[in-house]
Amino acid sequence: MGKVAISAMLISVLVMNSQLAVAAAEDDPLESINQKVHSFNVFMDRYFLLPVARGYTRYIPAPARQGVRNFFYNIGDVSVLANNLLQVKLEAAASDAGRIMVNTTVGVLGIFDVATPIGFNRNDEDFGQTLGYWGIGPGPYMVLPLFGPSTLRDSLGLLVDTATNPINHQDNIRVRNSAFALEQLDRRVAAMSVESLITGDPYIFTREAYLQQRQYLVNDGEVEETWDDDWDNWD
């Protein structure tokens, strides 16, 4: 999902924050536990991950950081391909296969994204979305230690995606752990570009933004209009 779509979605949450909080409360029966995990994640981010992310952006040149991101995107495209096949999205799956082939070879293991300019656009699929595609509801909202916002469905999807990630089948434990840490660092850096939009209660804002984003992805960009219902609940 592009930065424009993410920003637009966060702004929509900003406008309707209080109304959505009422409607979404029923989706968060574990809120008392989630709040504690959220506080733990904020602490870990503030004193450990964020300082490292800032140092990373300060001392590592942008082209090198983009190469790292492209590398992990290329690895992630394997899972995207599998999930597009599971969702019977054959055209998207063909594009994924083309991306992997071109970027892994010409793009030097994915460090350079040469597939996008020639028409093999990157898709965004995971097993949580596949479950949603086949009609499985999100279940209760959850906050996972270190991983952040999720749902019961997406947590199950995360287990499958993690198990099928090629990096996790690397025999060298040091290489595997280093790759995992670098990927999480890259994701934290990516989040820095939109976190300034967060306002009000960070927990509620993050929850609503996450739930809307996942709905957006499961529906392939076709978000169900729920504003009227939210206004009715507010009234």
Q: What is the pLDDT of residue 49?
A: 96
Residue type, 161: D
- The strand pairing partners of 150, in sequence order, are 142
| Cα gap 74→67, rounded to integer Å | 10
Q: What is the pLDDT of residue 222?
A: 77
User: Cα Rg for the chain, rounded, in angstroms?
Assistant: 18
Could you tell me the residue ranges of all domains in the chain?
Answer: 31-196
Q: What is the pLDDT of residue 184?
A: 95
Q: What is the pLDDT of residue 38?
A: 98
CA dihedral over 227, 129, 2, 181, signed as positive or negative: positive
Q: What is the pLDDT of residue 223?
A: 58
| Cα gap 41→35, rounded to integer Å | 10
Q: What is the pLDDT of residue 224?
A: 61
Q: What is the pLDDT of residue 227?
A: 44
Provide φ and ψ at 106, rounded to 5°. Answer: -65, -35
Q: What is the pLDDT of residue 5?
A: 47
pLDDT below 50 — which residues of the chain? Answer: 1-6, 8, 12-18, 21, 227, 230-231, 233-235
DSSP-derived letter for residue 138 is -
